[in-house]
Structure 1
Amino acid sequence: MTRTSYHHGALRGALMDACLRLIDTEGIAAVSLRRVAREAGVSTGAPYHHFADRAALLAALSANGFERLGAALAAARATADTPLAALTALAEAYVRFSREQPAYFRLMFRPELSQPEKHPDAAVAGEAAFAVLADTVADCVAAGLVEPERADTVTVAWWGIAHGLASLWLDGQLAKRANLMHTTAPDLVQNIIQACTGVLRRGVN
């Protein structure tokens, strides 16, 4: 393979992009610094200028993924007119992120690979993304939609709903179930999220 020259500042990004391509095409198990270097078209020693080992590379990708997710959630929240609409928008944005960024999503929730005890940036970025949801539930509390003592429970439950839908869709299971129900995966996701939102709405009526 022809070696490609990168400006030092661009090499890190090129390596991360190459790693994402490997995850997309062959899965996380295929990732090694040697394979990533070959995918990026650089020498096998080049990755060590930026990443001490495989875990450091995966941790950097996880952090970047959570930052992207957090930005997507914040943007979705900003478009909503009410706290309840914001919760719906967050769940939809979460599922959409998994569909648009499957390599990131498959990696972000694998702490045994990114070793957060050694590389805390991913955990920090993950908490920042989670805070967008927590703040939205706090808005629901302020609006009288959620009882204050249930705020933490509702936050985790909403995350669980969104993450479960995202994972099932990404793994192809949601499409199979939707087909048995004579509907489509997008419509099924939307109906489930709306049903969950309706439960909260009825809880205050």
Structure 2
Amino acid sequence: MSPTKDRYHHGDLREELLRASLRLIDTEGLAAVSLRRVAREAGVSPGAPYHHFTDRAALLAALSTRGFELLGAALVSIRDTTTSAREALIEMAEGYVGFAREHPTYFRLMFRPELSQPHNHPDTEDAGDAAFAILEDTLADATRAGELPAEDAETLALAWWSLAHGLASLTLDGKLEARSAHMGTTAAALADRVTRMFADLIDSRWPQR
């Protein structure tokens, strides 16, 4: 039995198709992805992907779901290894930017709903909500500790997400690196500085009670 057939027999074809899709996006862009092309890249018959994905959108949705799951795991790891909710929020924002830098293909696809159609793929929407819920839970910890006001928790969650996502997008577009070079620093150091400045502004607006 060939390696490809062996993978398919043991239920690993889905993973191979996802890996093949990532390779195609990395090398040729999203436009190159179709079920037929992915099948060829994975070395299987043209009909094989349809055992796992009904169409191109379902395949892209599965990649988006995987991306959100990886991001969520990274955020949980950061939260669980920090000593305070405030520090967790800072490091989670930095981790969000780091995730985009390390997984640009996932990150770009995760926020292209017109491609992955999360409204038709609840697993993708649930994974995105779960990742955001980690931030909300951390903010809830901060309010319980008296570090932030409970009545503004939802607004602050959106503000933190906006900050992290904006920095991540600037990083992928090369804008943060260009600006950091102009300022004589690195993109990572600049992202850290911006995030900590934002945290200081929050502290000044809502001093610890």
Provide TM-score, normalisation by structure 2. 0.93
User: Amino acid of the residue matched to residue 166 of structure 1?
Assistant: A
**Partner of 1:117: helix, strand, or coil?**
helix
Which runs of 4 or more aligned residues in structure 1 lie more than 6 Å from their structure 2 counterparts after TM superposition? none
Aligned to 1:105: 107
Note the C-alpha offset of 1:3: 8.9
How far, CA to CA, are the matches of 2:87 and 2:119 in structure 1?
36
Deviations 1:30-65 (A, max 9, x none): 211111111111121111111110001011111111
How far, CA to CA, are the matches of 2:138 and 2:104 in structure 1?
25
Note the C-alpha offset of 1:115: 1.1
How far, CA to CA, are the matches of 2:148 and 2:196 in structure 1?
17
Note the C-alpha offset of 1:193: 1.0
Unaligned runs of 5+ in 1: none
Aligned to 1:92: 94
Deviations 1:85-120 (A, max 9, x none): 110111111111111111110100111111122111
Aligned to 2:8: 7
Deviations 1:129-174 (A, max 9, x none): 1000001111111122221121111000100100111111011111
How far, CA to CA, are the matches of 1:159 and 1:48 in structure 2?
36
How far, CA to CA, are the matches of 1:172 and 1:27 in structure 2?
18
Residues 1-205 of structure 1 aligned to structure 2 (within 5 Å): 4-5=4-5, 6-8=7-9, 9-203=11-205, 204=207
How far, CA to CA, are the matches of 2:163 and 2:119 in structure 1?
27
Note the C-alpha offset of 1:72: 0.6
Q: CA RMSD in A?
A: 1.5
Figure out how many residues of one structure are paired with residues of the other and give that number. 204
How far, CA to CA, are the matches of 1:23 and 1:201 in structure 2?
42
**Partner of 2:45: helix, strand, or coil?**
coil
How far, CA to CA, are the matches of 2:193 and 2:72 in structure 1?
24
Unaligned runs of 5+ in 2: none
